[in-house]
């Protein structure tokens, strides 16, 4: 075991606790929160009131960006799942990603994206009815986008439950990677299916975003999307570093217990 | 890199295998030649079963390379399965089918020419003729083990992997198995087996290895081992995970 | 190629033969499906004029529930008796094992579904049998069997396997259910005809094609090839 310099360690942890672990990340958080404040101002004060729906329509600027983020998160799960599973012959430029083995970082990315994605998806499913009820008088419409989001939510839950109920960590990683890939491809088909189904049944008197979007509104929408993406990025950064720490802790504990056994035998 | 003249029956380099927590097998190396019976000793939880399962292609290694009879595992696991026979703890037989149905099914899966003839041969060899028409579920554990061993030898694999074969066998079955193994090996094939029974193990072995801490701490010929000394050292260190 | 097909058939036939003797899967699935239909009848308060609206949905939900029963058994028995390991040791690639199990599952489900049709016809006054219905049943069941087999193989290795299979299976099989119900609607004439029957067939066919490629590969990963 290497010699531990106690002063250095103390100094390092003091710095770490002041900056909440990482200076750059903390700045990023401040950036994200600032954007959020500005965004809220834009949404609730600056944006023009929609003629038909009134103030309730403002929830659109939260609902839609979160939906996009939720689907982006799932795409990330898909990508990370692919990168996690070993490929025998990976091209040379991917060396750094170590694709020939089960590189744990990809598993961390996938599970982080899934956890955060689930939260965003849940919020989409909550803000949807909040928007719908005052305007159209019903909580839920089985429109293509909302329904696909519901299915996405269910797949996220299945993904996280699969991880939770796996017999060991290795299995959790491999099985959820498989589900990540199958699930993503499935969601694409689900969207197509529900879209045709909605057309077929023509029950949609309401339509969430088929109102006149003035250019000012578009601006707020794009800004809001950017804000939520930044927030998502921060959450990913934070969650990934937490998970990496957890792994380090576990490995250190293992090393310690192995060392203890070896010492005991001597 | 394919080893074209399989000088070695089994060749393992830097094998690492884990299930998410600490690795069970770590940087494990071993080479086994032909016509040998390698008996592997190790405490409970030392990774003996995991090791055999990696060799039998049931598990894939996290890291490391394996060649079975010169066939690299990473490139052609299917061919490896052709040249190994496996006898595990569980008999791995279909309980609701009769013995002969089980044997015929696996013969056909192994693409044996004239399955009925081959099945007749092994049943003769293992003295299980009387069990043929009986549902496997009605057989005792020892009987099922015998059938399982017969099944493993259907395709006369050059390499046999056995996980504690002596467990659950009565005197007669045990004698039969030991004799079969000896004949098998005399024809140039190799057997790898794990066991907890020091007596039977040392009796059968031509090579001995001890698995501990995820790798082989000892690997040598049977001749160089003093039975009593081995037993006391081995048993003396017996604690879980050592 | 020949051994590929031969071994698939061997595995499927083995399952079918075992089922032939005990008839467990088919009977329990059948009974369960009939129970579901009866329950639906009470729950939905079906009357002669509304029966056409409910019928296709009830049919397919019953099929799916019956199917899940068959799926969970498919790999559970193999795992419990250790025979899954025996299969994994056979000199065939993992796809062959998967396709063999899937084929057997497909056959069981089709048998149950064909036996259910007359019961359904009586309970829900359903008389529109046609080639379209048969082709829908075949293609949709193919999709069910494919996803069912892979998720069954995964669920069986986890804790709480009974709940993992439905949780994995139901959300992902949604497009097939949508397509099947809509096509059945087309058969009995209650659909609006905006999205043609061909489109729904396309949906199920594409689904099947995609997952028939994806799932055998996934099985290899799950079984650590």
Q: Which two tokens stand for residue A144?
A: 């293509």
B241: confidence class by pLDDT, cuts 50, 70, 90: very low
Q: What is the dihedral of CA C174, C177, C179, C183, to 10 degrees?
A: -170
pLDDT computed for residue B7 by the predictor: 83
C193: confidence class by pLDDT, cuts 50, 70, 90: low
C17 to chain B: which residues are within 8 Å by CB? 97
CB atoms within 10 A of CB B34: 17
A73, A120 in Cβ contact below 8 A?
Answer: yes
In-domain check, residue B145:
yes
* R_g of chain A, CA atoms, integer Å: 23
Helical (H) or strand (E) element with B94: none
Best mutation target among A148, A153, A161, A193 (most C Cβ atoms within 10 Å) is A193
Question: Using the beta-carbon criterion (under 8 Å), do B94 and C82 form an inter-chain contact?
Answer: no
- Give the pLDDT mean for A196-205: 70
Count of domains observed in chain B: 1
Please give the DSSP secondary-structure letter assigned to residue B164. Answer: S
A171, C157 in Cβ contact below 8 A?
Answer: yes
In-domain check, residue B136:
yes
Helical (H) or strand (E) element with A163: helix A144-165
pLDDT computed for residue B207 by the predictor: 92
CA separation for the pair B63, B74 (Å, rounded): 11
Question: Between A121 and A15, where is the model more confident?
Answer: A121
C138, C114 in Cβ contact below 8 A?
Answer: no
CA separation for the pair B195, B174 (Å, rounded): 13
3-state SS, residue C172: helix
Q: Which two tokens stand for residue A164?
A: 């939770």
Q: Which two tokens stand for residue B131?
A: 């069990």
CA geometry: angle B170, B175, B180, nearest 5 deg: 125
End-to-end CA distance of chain A: 17
In-domain check, residue B5:
no
Identify the domain containing residue B100 by its residue range. Answer: 10-236
B2: confidence class by pLDDT, cuts 50, 70, 90: very low
Pairing of strands B71-72, B84-87: unpaired
Q: What is the CATH number of the domain that holds B72?
A: 3.40.50.300
B57, B30 in Cβ contact below 8 A?
Answer: no
pLDDT in tens, A59-108: 888 999 999 999 999 999 999 999 999 887 777 777 777 777 888 899 99
The Cα-based distances of A197 to C137, C176, C179, C194 in angstroms read 19, 12, 8, 10
pLDDT computed for residue B3 by the predictor: 45
Question: Using the beta-carbon criterion (under 8 Å), do C82 and B88 form an inter-chain contact?
Answer: yes
The Cα-based distances of B144 to A73, B89, B149, B177 in angstroms read 51, 11, 9, 13
Which residues between 132 and 161 in chain A have a beta carbon less than 8 angstroms from any beta carbon of chain C? 151, 154-155, 157-158, 161
Question: Using the beta-carbon criterion (under 8 Å), do B58 and C89 form an inter-chain contact?
Answer: yes
pLDDT in tens, C143-160: 999 999 999 999 999 998
Give B17→chain A minimum CA distance, Å.
10
pLDDT at A4 over 90: no
What b/e sequence results for A168-203 when a residue is b if at least 16 CB atoms lie within 10 Å of its CB, and e otherwise?
ebbbbbbbbbbbbbbbbbbbebbbbbbbbbbebeee
Q: Which two tokens stand for residue A85?
A: 């599973």
Best mutation target among B54, B59, B73, B94 (most C Cβ atoms within 10 Å) is B94
- Of the candidate ranges A103-117, A133-147, B157-171, the one whose mean pLDDT is the lowest: A133-147
- Establish if B62 touches chain A: CB-CB under 8 angstroms: yes
CA separation for the pair A59, C103 (Å, rounded): 49
- Give the pLDDT mean for B156-184: 88
If we measure between CA atoms, which residue out of C55, C76, C196 comes closest to residue C129?
C55
pLDDT computed for residue B141 by the predictor: 87
Categorise residue B111: left if φ over 0, alpha if ψ from -120 to 50, beta otherwise. left
Nearest Cβ partner for A169 among B19, B213, B241: B19
- Establish if B105 touches chain C: CB-CB under 8 angstroms: yes
Nearest Cβ partner for C90 among B81, B88, B91: B81
A201: confidence class by pLDDT, cuts 50, 70, 90: confident
In-domain check, residue B89:
yes
B45: confidence class by pLDDT, cuts 50, 70, 90: confident
Which residues between 112 and 131 in chain C have a beta carbon less than 8 angstroms from any beta carbon of chain B? none
B84 to chain C: which residues are within 8 Å by CB? 89
Count of domains observed in chain C: 1
- Of the candidate ranges A36-45, A175-184, C105-114, the one whose mean pLDDT is the lowest: A36-45
pLDDT in tens, A15-64: 777 777 778 888 889 999 999 998 888 888 887 777 777 777 788 889 99
CA separation for the pair B147, B157 (Å, rounded): 16
- Give the pLDDT mean for A211-224: 80
B18 to chain C: which residues are within 8 Å by CB? none
pLDDT computed for residue C49 by the predictor: 81
Question: Using the beta-carbon criterion (under 8 Å), do B241 and A261 form an inter-chain contact?
Answer: yes
In-domain check, residue B3:
no
Q: Model pTM?
A: 0.91
C94, B77 in Cβ contact below 8 A?
Answer: no
Identify the domain containing residue C28 by its residue range. Answer: 2-222
Please give the DSSP secondary-structure letter assigned to residue C139. Answer: H
If we measure between CA atoms, which residue out of B223, B188, B189 comes closest to residue B205?
B223
If we measure between CA atoms, which residue out of A123, C62, C83, A28 comes closest to residue B88?
C83
pLDDT at C110 over 90: yes
In-domain check, residue B128:
yes
């Amino acid at each position: 075991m290497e010699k531990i310099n106690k002063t250095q360690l103390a100094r390092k942890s003091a710095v770490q606790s002041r900056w909440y672990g990482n200076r750059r990340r903390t700045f990023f958080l401040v950036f994200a929160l600032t954007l959020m404040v500005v965004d809220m101002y834009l949404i609730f004060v600056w944006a023009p009131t929609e003629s038909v729906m009134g103030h309730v329509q403002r929830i659109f600027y939260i609902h839609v960006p979160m939906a996009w983020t939720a689907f982006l998160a799932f795409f990330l799960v898909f990508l990370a799942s692919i990168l996690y599973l070993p490929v025998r012959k990976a091209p040379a430029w991917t060396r750094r990603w170590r694709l020939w083995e089960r590189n744990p970082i990809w598993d961390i990315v996938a599970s982080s994206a899934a956890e955060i994605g689930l939260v965003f998806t849940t919020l989409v499913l909550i803000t949807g009815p909040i928007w719908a009820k005052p305007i159209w008088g019903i909580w839920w419409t089985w429109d293509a986008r909302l329904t696909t989001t519901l299915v996405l939510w269910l797949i996220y839950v299945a993904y996280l439950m699969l991880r939770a109920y796996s017999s060991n960590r290795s299995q959790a990683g491999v099985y959820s990677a498989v589900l990540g890939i199958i699930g993503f491809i499935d969601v694409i088909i689900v969207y197509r299916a529900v879209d045709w189904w909605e057309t077929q049944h023509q029950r949609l008197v309401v339509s969430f975003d088929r109102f006149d979007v003035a250019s000012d509104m578009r601006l707020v929408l794009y800004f809001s999307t950017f804000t939520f993406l930044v927030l998502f990025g921060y959450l990913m950064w934070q969650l990934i570093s937490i998970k990496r720490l957890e792994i380090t802790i576990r490995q250190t504990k293992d090393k310690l217990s192995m060392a203890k056994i070896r010492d005991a035998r001597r | 890199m394919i080893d074209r003249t399989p000088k070695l029956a089994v060749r393992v380099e830097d094998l690492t295998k884990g299930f998410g927590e600490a690795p069970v097998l770590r940087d494990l190396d071993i080479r086994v030649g032909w016509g040998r019976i390698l008996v592997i000793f190790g405490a409970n939880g030392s990774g003996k079963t995991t090791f055999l399962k990696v060799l039998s292609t049931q598990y894939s290694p996290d890291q490391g390379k394996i060649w079975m009879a010169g066939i690299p595992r990473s490139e052609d696991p299917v061919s490896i399965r052709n040249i190994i026979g496996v006898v595990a703890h569980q008999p791995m037989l279909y309980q609701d089918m009769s013995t002969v149905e089980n044997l015929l099914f696996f013969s056909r899966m192994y693409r044996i020419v004239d399955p009925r003839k081959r099945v007749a041969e092994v049943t003769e060899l293992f003295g299980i003729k009387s069990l043929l028409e009986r549902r496997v579920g009605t057989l005792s554990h020892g009987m099922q083990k015998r059938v399982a061993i017969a099944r493993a030898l259907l395709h006369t694999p050059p390499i046999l992997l056995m996980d504690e074969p002596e467990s659950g066998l009565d005197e007669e079955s045990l004698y039969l198995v030991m004799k079969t193994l000896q004949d098998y090996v005399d024809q140039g094939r190799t057997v790898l087996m794990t066991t907890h029974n020091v007596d039977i193990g040392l009796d059968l072995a031509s090579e001995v290895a001890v698995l501990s801490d995820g790798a082989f701490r000892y690997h040598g010929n049977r001749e160089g081992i003093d039975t009593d000394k081995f037993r006391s050292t081995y048993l003396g260190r017996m604690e879980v995970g050592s | 190629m020949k051994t590929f097909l031969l071994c698939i058939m061997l595995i499927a036939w083995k399952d079918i033969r075992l089922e032939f003797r005990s008839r467990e899967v088919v009977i329990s699935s059948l009974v369960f499906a009939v129970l579901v239909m009866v329950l639906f009848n009470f729950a939905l308060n079906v009357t002669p004029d509304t029966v056409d609206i409910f019928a296709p949905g009830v049919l397919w939900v019953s099929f799916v529930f019956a199917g899940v029963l068959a799926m969970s058994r498919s790999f559970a028995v193999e795992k419990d008796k250790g025979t899954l390991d025996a299969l994994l040791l056979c000199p065939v690639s993992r796809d062959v094992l998967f396709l063999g199990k899937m084929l057997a599952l497909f056959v069981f489900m089709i048998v149950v579904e064909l036996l259910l049709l007359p019961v359904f016809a009586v309970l829900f006054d359903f008389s529109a049998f046609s080639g379209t219905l048969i082709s829908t049943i075949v293609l949709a069941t193919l999709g069910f069997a494919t996803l069912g087999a892979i998720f069954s193989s995964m669920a069986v290795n986890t804790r709480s396997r009974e709940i993992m299979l439905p949780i994995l299976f139901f959300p992902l099989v949604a497009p097939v259910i949508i397509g099947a119900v809509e096509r059945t609607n087309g058969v009995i004439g209650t659909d609006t005809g905006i999205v043609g029957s061909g489109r729904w067939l396309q949906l199920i066919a594409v689904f099947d094609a995609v997952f028939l490629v994806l799932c055998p590969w996934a099985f290899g990963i799950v079984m650590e090839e």
